[in-house]
Structure 1
Amino acid sequence: MYSNPRDWIAASLLPGIGAVGLKRLAVARIPPSRLLDADPGALRLAGARRVTVQAIQDLNQNRGEPFARLERCLDWLERNPVRCLTPDQDAYPGLLLEIADPPPVLFVRGNPDCLALPQIALVGSRHASRAGADNAYRFAGALSEAGLVITSGLALGIDGAAHQAAVDRGAATVAVFGTGPDRLYPRRHAALAERILENGGAWVSEFLPGTGPLPAHFPRRNRVISGLSVGVLVVEAAPRSGSLITAKMALEQGREVFAIPGTIHNPHAHGCHRLIREGAVLVESVEHIIEQLGALLGCFVPVETPGACAPELTQPEASLLEKMGYDVAGIDQLVEHTGLAAPELLSTLVSLELKGVIEPVAGGYLRCR
C-alpha cells in the first residue's frame, strides 16, 4: 500500500527536518502518511523541532508558505509528464534508498525504468581539457556498450561529454539536476537534455518545480548521483572541486570510486591523483572498472575501450609530436629540442591542434592522444 505522493511532498517542504529527520520519524512510526495527523507531543518526543510542528499545523489549516508551495507543486505535476517517486514505491531506486538521507521525493521525467538498471557515474571538471573531455566521451561510450547506464549532472565539461557519448550510441543516460525538474541548467545543454529523453533516459531531481541553481543544491545533487550508482568514475578534478565531494559521498555510501590519472602539470588531474593516493582505483581502461565491480556486473560483457581514429600526420608533425612527450611543452623548449625556426614550429603546432592531437594550455601545448 503506497502513501499519497502529496504526503511526501508536504513532508519535504517542512522546515527544520530534512531527509534524515524524516527517516528518524519513520523509525518512530511516524511516516509521511501519518505526519500531518500526528500528535504534536509525539512529534516533539521523536525529535521534531518547534518550527516543524508549527509548519505541520499550518499545512493542516491550509495556510502558510509550505501550503502554497505544495499547491503549486501539485498543480505543476498535473500539467506535466513527470512522475513523482517516493521511498515507499517499488519504482524508487533501491540503491538510493540505502543511503543515509534518501530524497523524500524524486521527480522523474522520461523513462523511470532506467533507474532500476546498474548505473555508473562519470564526474569531473566543468573546465575540462580536450584530453579530459575525450576520455570522458570514450569511457562513457564503452561503459554504455558494456550495459551500464551513464549517470551524471548535465554540467559543462566532463558531465556533458559523458551524456553525449551515451546518446550518440542510442543508450539510456540519467541526468541529475541541481534545480527543479522544470529548470534546465545550463541552458547550453538544452538540446542534449532533449536527446536524453529521446533515447530512453531520464531527468531526475529532488527539488521542487521552480527551484533555481543555487550553490547549496549541487552537493545535494552529487549525493544523488553517487547514490544511484554502483560506482563513480572521476575523469578530471581540481584539488577542490565538486567531483571530489561526489567521490567522498560515494565512499561513505559504500560505492566504488575510480579515477583516471593525468599529467602532473595539469591542475585538473591533481584531484584524481589525490583520490588515487587515498585508495581510489586507478583506471586506464574500461576493463579495470568492470573487473573491480566484479559480481555486481556479472551479467555484463566487458568491451575494449574504443580508440579514436588516429589522424594522419606528416613526417614533420609526427617528429614534433614525438619530441613533445606527454607533459606541457613551451615554445622555447620546443625550439631548443627540435631545432626548428619559430615560424615553422608554430605552423606545425597549429596543424597538430587542428587535427585534435594537441591543445594549447597554460605554459605551452599538451598532447591529447
Structure 2
Amino acid sequence: MIKPEADSRLDRPDNINNFHLIVDLSMMLTALSLVGCVYVFYRVYKLWILSKKKLAMTYRLPFYTACTDFLLNGNFFLNMIHTAIYARVWDDIPCKIIAVFNWAFLTINVCLYVVIAVITYLRICRGIHFNYGKYDYKLWLIVIVGSLIIQLINLQNYGKREYWCAAKSGQFYSAIILFSIIAIILIIILFCYLSVLKKIHKTINFLKLLSSSNQNDRRYSRNGNTSVERCTEFERKATKKILSYIAVFILQWTPISISQGARLVLDDAIWVYVMGSIGRSFGGIGNMIQFIINEGFISRNYDTASCNENGNELFENSRLSSIRSNEHEIITISEVEN
C-alpha cells in the first residue's frame, strides 16, 4: 500500500525535529568540508607555483585526499539537497546512481589511505622504491582497482534509506562489508605508520651513537652535532605528520564504522544517521586542519634532505664502518620527486 504524500514526507510534525537535526547538520558539515577542500586546493596550488610546478609527495598527498573528499562531499551535498527541499529522498533510478557514486568515492578515499600507508612502509622500512608513473597514475590505478573490487562485492545493495541514498534499508550486507574493510585498513595503517616511526627513531638513535663516539674529533663533533640536531628536528616533524595521518583517518572513519555496526541492530535510528553524516564530512575538515598543523598558514622551508646528507657523511667517516649505512638510512616521505 502506497503511503499518502503527506505521511511519506520527512518533515511531518511528529518527525520535524529529527528532520532538521539530520538535514541541517549534514548540510552544514558538508559545506565546511567543501570549504576545507578548496582551502587545501589553494594552498597546494600556491606551493606548486612556488616550486616551479614540481610538488613533493608530502604535498601531493593532502591534495589527492582533498580531491577524494571533494567528490565524496559534493555527491553527499547533491544527495541531501533533494531531501532538504522536498523532505524525501531521490526517486529510485537517480537514487541508485547517487548511491553508486557515494560508495565509489567512499571506497576510493579509504583505499587511498591504505595504499599510501603501504607504499610509505615499503619505502622507508624495506627500502623498496615505487615508481608512481606520470601524474602518479600507477598509484591511482591501484586505488581505483581496489575500489572497483569493493563496488562489485556490494553491487546489489544500493538504494534508498530514510534520509539519503546509499545502501538500501532492510539489508545489512553493505554494513558488514564497509565495517570489515575499515577495521582491516585501520590495522594495516597502524602497522605501517608505527613501523615507520620505529625505523626513524632507530636511525636517530644510531646517529646519536655515532656522534657521541666521535666527540674527540673536532670535525666529527661539529658536523655530527649539526646532523643530529637536524635529524632530531626531522624526527619530530615526521612523527607529528604521521600521527596526524592516523588521527584524521580514525576521526573520519570511526563514526562511519560505528554507524555501520549500529545498523546491524538499529538500522535507521537517528543517531546512526548523525554518525554517518559526521564521518562522511570530516575528511575535508580534518585534511584542512592537518595541512595547517603540518605546514602552517604560510609556506615554511624545511630541508629534510639535509638529514640524509649529514647522516651519510657520518656513516662514511664512522669508526663503525662494519655497519652498512643503507641499513640505517632515513628515506623521508617528503622527498622531492620529479
Same fold (TM over 0.5): no
Q: TM-score range by the shorter chain?
A: under 0.3
User: What's the TM-score once normalised by structure 1's chain length?
Assistant: 0.20
User: What's the TM-score once normalised by structure 2's chain length?
Assistant: 0.21
Q: By percentage of residues, which structure has more helix?
A: 2
Q: By percentage of residues, which structure has more strand?
A: 1
